[in-house]
Structure 1
Amino acid sequence: MSELLRNIKIITLVGFLIASFLILGIRGAEFGIDFKGGTLFQIEFDEPILDLEERARITTTISQRLDWTGLRDTTVNFFGDEFVIAQMAETDPETIERIESLLMKQGRFEVVIDGETIFMGDGIIDIIKDPSRGYSLQPQGDSVMWVLPFVLKSDAAERFKDLTWHRCTLIGYAQDTGRQYDCDRTYFYIDRPKESILVIPRDQFELDRILLLQGNLNENIPLETDIEEILLNSSMPNFVVEQDGFTKEQLAELQIDISTNPIAIVPTSILPSQKQELLDIGFELNETFVDDEIPYIWQATGLKQVILLSEDITNVDIPDEQKAGTEAISNLVIRGFAPTLEQSQQRRADLEILLESGSLPVGVKSISKETISPLLGENFLFNAGIIGILALLVVAIVIFLRYRVLKLTAPIVFITLSEVFITIAIVSLISKFDLGAVAGIIAAVGTGVDDQIIITDELMKGAISGEGSLAARIKRAFFMVIAAAATTLATMLPIILIGFGLGKLVGFAITTSVGVLVGVLITRPAFGEIAKEIISKY
Structure 2
Amino acid sequence: MDVRNIQNLLRSTRIIIMILLILASLLLIFNIIPVNGDKGIGFGNGLDYGLDFAGGIQMQLKLEREVDKETMEIERGILVSRLNSMGLKDIPVRPWGNRYILIQISGASPHERERIENILKQPARFEQLIDGKLAVRGDEIVVDPDPRSSGIFQEQNGYGWRVGVKLMGEGAKRFGKVAYGKYFGENSPLNRPVDLFIDRPYDSIIIIDKGTYNILSNITSSSPRGGSIYYGDTAIDIIKKRANLTVVVWEGNNSEFFFKIKNLSNKYRRAIIAGDEKDIPETIRGGIEEAGFNTERIPKGNKTYEDWIKEITGLKTSPRLNFNTRGEPVYAAVITGWAPTIQDAKNEMKQNKIWLSSGNLPARATIESESEIPASLGGKFLEGSFIIGIMAIFTVAFIIYLRYRRLFIVAPVMITGLSEIIIILGLASAINWEIDLAAVAGIIAAVGTGVDDQIVITDETLRRESGKRRIISVVEQIRRAFFIIFTAAATTIAVMLPVFTIQALQGFAFTTVTGVLIGVFVTRPSYAKIIEELIEE
Give the structure-2-normalised TM-score. Answer: 0.50
Residue 448 (structure 2) pairs with residue 446 (structure 1): yes
Deviation at 1:70, TM superposition (A): 1.2
The total of aligned residue pairs comes to 308
Show the counterpart of 1:49.
67
In structure 2, do the counterparts of structure 1 residues 12 and 101 end up closer, same or farther at CA, with 3 Å as the change threshold? closer
Do structure 1's residue 382 and structure 2's residue 383 form an aligned pair? yes
TM-superposed CA distance for 1:513, in Å, is 0.1
Identify the range of structure 1 (408-417 vs 473-482) with the bigger mean alpha-carbon deviation.
473-482
2:507 alignment partner in structure 1 = 507
Q: CA deviation at 1:106?
A: 7.9
CA shift digits 1:472-500 (9 cap, x unpaired):
2112211221121111101011222xx1x
Distance 1:520 1:453 in 2: 14
SS of the aligned residue for 2:103 comes to strand
Aligned to 2:275: none
**How far 1:8 moved relative to its partner?**
1.7
Change (3 A) 1:396 1:466: closer
Equivalent residue, structure 2, for 1:459: 461
Paired residue for 1:58?
75
Do structure 1's residue 479 and structure 2's residue 483 form an aligned pair?
A: yes
* 1:219-230 matches, cutoff 5 A: none
Q: 2:461 touches 2:472 (CA, 8 Å); kept in 1?
A: no
Tell me the amino acid that sits aligned with residue 408 of structure 2: K
Distance 1:66 1:495 in 2: 27
Which residue number corresponds to residue 99 of structure 2? Answer: 82
Q: Distance in 2 between matches of 1:94 and 1:423?
A: 34
Q: In the TM superposition, what whole-angstrom CA distance separates every residue of 1:412-471 from its partner, at most 9, and x where no partner exists?
A: 110000000001111233421111111110110111111111111221226955575212
Cα distance in 2 for partners of 1:68, 1:447 equals 43
In the alignment, is residue 470 of structure 1 matched against residue 488 of structure 2?
A: no
User: Within 2, Cα distance between the matches of 1:91 and 1:4?
Assistant: 48
Question: Whole-Å Cα distance in 2 between the matches of residues 101 and 17 of structure 1?
Answer: 44
Structure having the higher Rg:
1
Change (3 A) 1:36 1:366: closer
Shift of residue 64 of structure 1? Answer: 5.5
2:22 corresponding residue in structure 1: 17
Partner of 1:394: 395
Contact 1:427 / 1:514 at 8 angstroms: preserved in 2?
no
Give the 3-state SS of the residue equivalent to 1:61 in structure 2: helix
Distance 1:405 1:82, change over 3 A: same
Q: Could you tell me how far apart the structure 2 residues matched to 1:517 and 1:469 are?
A: 27
Counting aligned pairs with the same residue, the percent is: 42
For residues 532 and 490 of structure 1, what CA distance do their matches in structure 2 show? Answer: 30
One-letter code aligned to 1:531: I
Work out the CA distance in 2 between the residues paired with 1:10 and 1:357: 53
Q: 1:308-457, aligned counterparts within 5 Å? A: 358-364=359-365, 367-430=368-431, 431-457=433-459
Aligned counterpart, 1:245: none
Q: Pick one of 136, 139, 161 that aligns with 1:122.
A: 139
User: Residues 88-103 of structure 1: matches in 2 within 5 Å?
Assistant: 88-89=105-106, 91=108, 96=113, 99-100=116-117, 103=120
Give how far 1:44 is off: 3.1
* Alpha-carbon contact 1:66-1:88 (below 8 Å) kept: no
Give the corresponding residue for 1:333.
Answer: none
Closer, same or farther: CA 424–389 of 1 in aligned 2, 3 Å: same
Deviates further, 514-523 or 57-66: 57-66
Shift of 1:46: 3.5
2:317 corresponding residue in structure 1:
none
CA-CA distance at 1:363 after TM superposition: 2.8
**Alpha-carbon deviation of 1:402?**
2.1
TM-score normalized with structure 1 length: 0.50
1:153 Cα deviation from its structure 2 partner: 11
Shift, 1:385, TM fit:
1.0
The 3-state SS of whatever aligns with 1:78 is strand
2:530 is aligned with what amino acid?
I
Partner residue, 1:208 = none
Q: Which moves more between the two structures, 79-88 or 401-410?
A: 79-88
Instruction: Return the alpha-carbon distance in structure 1 between the equivalents of residues 125 and 521 of structure 2.
Output: 54
CA contact (8 A) 2:25 2:427 kept: yes
2:48 alignment partner in structure 1: 30
- For structure 2, list consecutive stretches of 5 or more residues without a partner in the other structure: 36-45, 127-135, 142-166, 176-326, 328-355
Asked whether the equivalents of residues 458 and 477 of structure 1 are also in contact (C-alpha less than 8 Å), the reply is: yes
User: How far apart in 1 are the matches of 2:450 and 2:444?
Assistant: 10
Task: Let me know the Cα RMSD of the aligned residues.
Answer: 3.8
Cα distance in 1 for residues equivalent to 2:357 and 2:67: 22
Pairing partner for 2:495 from 491, 494, 509: 491
Q: Secondary structure at the match of 1:371?
A: strand
CA distance in 2, matches of 1:467, 1:409: 18
Aligned partner of residue 81 in structure 1, secondary structure: coil
Q: Say which SS state the counterpart of residue 425 (structure 1) adopts.
A: helix
Q: What do the CA deviations read for 1:104-161 (whole angstroms, capped 9, x no partner)? A: 678999xxxxxxxxx985349xxxxxxxxxxxxxxxxxxxxxxxxxxx999339589x
Quote the residue 2:171 is aligned against: 156
Amino acid at match of 2:505: L
> CA separation of 1:357/1:93 partners in 2, compared to 1, >3 Å: closer, same or farther?
farther
Report SS of the residue matched to 1:74: coil
AA at the equivalent of 1:476: R
- Aligned CA distance change for structure 1 residues 466 and 438 (closer, same or farther; 3 Å): same
Q: Is the 8 A contact 2:138 2:358 kept in 1?
A: no
- Give the Å deviation of 1:45: 2.2
Aligned residue in 2 for 1:517: 517
Q: CA deviation at 1:366?
A: 6.3
By how many angstroms is 1:370 displaced?
A: 2.0
* Structure 1 residues without counterparts, runs of 5 or longer: 110-118, 125-151, 161-324, 326-354
C-alpha distance in 1 between matches for 2:22 and 2:113: 41
1:166 aligned partner? none
SS of residue in 2 equivalent to 1:43: strand
Letter in 2 for 1:534: L
Cα distance between partner residues in 2 of 1:95 and 1:494: 35
Over 3 Å counting, the alpha-carbon distance change for 1:41 and 1:92 in structure 2 is same
Equivalent residue in structure 1 for 2:57, among 39, 45, 50? 39
Q: Which amino acid aligns with 2:397?
A: A
* Cα distance change, pair 395–51 in 1 and its aligned pair in 2 (3 A): closer
Assess if the C-alpha contact under 8 Å between 1:91 and 1:373 holds in 2.
Answer: no
* One-letter amino acid of the structure 2 residue matched with residue 30 of structure 1: D
